[in-house]
Amino acid sequence: MMTVQGKSVQNVELSNDSNECNIIAICVLPDRQVLVADVNNKNVKLLDQEYQVSSHLPGHRICA
């Protein structure tokens, strides 16, 4: 069972995103970085511990 401890809204849009972000998957890594799959822009974004985009992998086909 999982318990939600909080909720927040974060802007993960990049300047070169051509479409509105549509996050379809989220994965929290052991070091508290977060991977998000943005299906509309066909990329995976890595968020740091402050939920700022620190890196991204463009051009990946993401299945919804």
What would the pLDDT profile of 18-31 be if each residue is shown by its tens digit? 999 999 999 999 99
| Domain boundaries, position 31 | 23-58
Residue 63 lies in a domain: no
What would the pLDDT profile of 1-51 be if each residue is shown by its tens digit? 878 888 889 999 999 999 999 999 999 999 999 999 999 999 999 999 999
Residue 48 lies in a domain: yes
The total domain count for the chain is 1
Residue 5 confidence (pLDDT): 85
CA distance linking residue 29 with residue 43, whole number of Å: 18
**pLDDT band of 61, cuts 50, 70, 90:** low
E strands in the chain: 23-28, 34-38, 43-47, 53-58
Residue 1 lies in a domain: no
CA distance linking residue 34 with residue 52, whole number of Å: 10
Residue 35 lies in a domain: yes
Q: Which residue has the tokens 């998000």?
A: 36
Residue 10 lies in a domain: no
Residue 52 lies in a domain: yes
Residue 15 lies in a domain: no
